[in-house]
Amino acid sequence: MPVRVLIVDDSATMRGLIAATLCRDPAISVVGEAADPLEARQAIKTLDPDVVTLDVEMPNMNGLEFLARIMRLRPTRVIMVSTMTERGASTTIKALEIGAFDCVAKPSAKDPRSFDELPAKIKAIAASPINRQEPLRQESHRQESHRQELHRQELHRQDPTSAGAARREPQTASSRYSPDGRLVAIGSSTGGVEALLTILSQFPENCPPTIVTQHMPPVFTASFAARLDRLCKPHVAEAVDGAPILPGRVYLAPGGAAHLEVVKHVGGYRCRLTNTEAVNGHRPSVDVLFNSVAQSAGRNALGVILTGMGRDGAQGLLAMRKIGAETIGQDEASSLVYGMPKAAFEIGGVGKQLTLQRIAAHILTSTNQ
């Protein structure tokens, strides 16, 4: 059976463009269109689509508010279709945390072919189970835990002998972490926003230097990095060419702009951004990152491949493992799309498979030995 898709967008032109893109694939059937959330709500009930494409900004109801209602009342596979603006990107990142499966940017002069991957994304998502694990409550819990930690640190600064400061939390991998000099390289794609937030929110302030390539449209990674920086204890930012790679820092590859590599430098490592051709259809590519880490850091690194469609990162993770680095793959049960981790596992690139919830603790324990 073809994948049944409902298109939700207030622009008739954009609905037509999305429909034309999808109808070229015989494995996809556009079963309906809606111009606003009120029409969309009824269409979802009537048509029961496999996947919904949802505009971020619409009349009558904010796209985020509508998405939250969908996920609460009738969990659905949703792809956000967003403008390539700072506001659109920020809203899309929040939508991915709420429960949207993926995002695509609306075509623009800078990225006229942004819909090229849409059919493949829809088919991959349609094959994925709807197991979003209450993302809204998880997000609320993350923010509350972060606020409590900041409050505890402030109490300690004001009065190190106070009861609040003296109270000790259970000894976790995070609380007893001490860097050993190794760096961490992470690659992810579809489902990666939630996966990365789950992992990085467990990292301590002095986390191992961490380099991340997440498949994401241009502009979106800046908003994602800012979001991570607000919610996590380490400092998170887009990578800058030549930046030293330091403990307590997380470096995110700029979306669609360049490949992110790690190069040796006196006394450590630095980021390098290169504008070479796309690899595996992606720029930035996870394979490019992992291969550079294998060459520059060798055994002094740990590689992690997370949820995502396709094979990007599989060969690079294998190169890391062959040179002696520890490698981890997200398991099928906790992956939104078990494509990239599966490809790496099948060729022998994954040394250990773990659930998403266990990966952060394992990274901290491993790099603390």
pLDDT in tens, 217-245: 888 999 999 999 999 999 999 999 999 99
Report helix, strand or coil for 307: coil
How far apart CA 42 and CA 6 sit, in angstroms, is 11
Here the tokens at position 169 are: 């939390």
Q: Which CATH superfamily is domain 151-366 in?
A: Methylesterase CheB, C-terminal domain (3.40.50.180)
Reported as a single tens digit per residue, the pLDDT across 276-314 is 999 999 999 999 999 999 999 999 999 999 999 999 999
- Asked whether the predicted pLDDT for residue 165 surpasses 90, the reply is no
Here the tokens at position 2 are: 């073809």
Q: Which of 138-142, 158-162, 193-197, 212-216 has the lowest mean pLDDT?
A: 138-142
- Residue (of 31, 54, 181) closest to 106 by Cα position: 54
- Residue (of 146, 143, 123) closest to 135 by Cα position: 143
- Residue (of 103, 68, 297) closest to 182 by Cα position: 297
Reported as a single tens digit per residue, the pLDDT across 28-61 is 999 999 998 889 999 999 999 999 999 988 776 7
Q: What is the mean pLDDT of residues 84-112?
A: 86
How far apart CA 175 and CA 177 sit, in angstroms, is 6
Q: Is 365 left (phi over 0), alpha (psi -120 to 50) or beta?
A: alpha
- Asked whether the predicted pLDDT for residue 166 surpasses 50, the reply is no
Sorting pLDDT into bands at 50, 70 and 90, what band is 369? Answer: low
Of 188, 189, 201, 285, the active-site residue reads 189
How far apart CA 275 and CA 350 sit, in angstroms, is 28
Of 114, 188, 215, 223, the active-site residue reads 215
Query: Could you count the other beta carbons within 10 Å of the beta carbon of residue 345?
Result: 21
Phi–psi pair at 203, nearest 5 degrees: -75, 145
- Residue (of 113, 64, 52, 121) closest to 88 by Cα position: 64
Burial of 324 (0-12, 13-18, 19+ CB in 10 A): exposed
Q: What is the mean pLDDT of residues 22-30?
A: 97
Of 9, 50, 55, 312, the active-site residue reads 312
Do 335 and 191 contact (CB within 8 A), yes or no?
A: yes
| Longest distance between any two alpha carbons in the chain, whole Å | 69
- How long a stretch of residues is the chain? 369
The model's pTM is 0.86
Sorting pLDDT into bands at 50, 70 and 90, what band is 181? Answer: confident
In this prediction, residue 48 carries a pLDDT of 95
In this prediction, residue 174 carries a pLDDT of 62
Catalytic: 151?
A: no
Topology of domain 3-126, CATH = Rossmann fold (3.40.50)
In this prediction, residue 137 carries a pLDDT of 41
- Residue 198, strand partner residues: none
Which residue spans of the chain are classified as CATH 3.40.50.2300?
A: 3-126
In this prediction, residue 320 carries a pLDDT of 98
Which residue spans of the chain are classified as CATH 3.40.50.180?
A: 151-366
Catalytic: 259?
A: no
Here the tokens at position 217 are: 């449209």
Mark out the alpha helices in 74-214 (DSSP H runs): 86-98, 118-126, 135-158, 163-166, 192-200
- Asked whether the predicted pLDDT for residue 84 surpasses 90, the reply is no
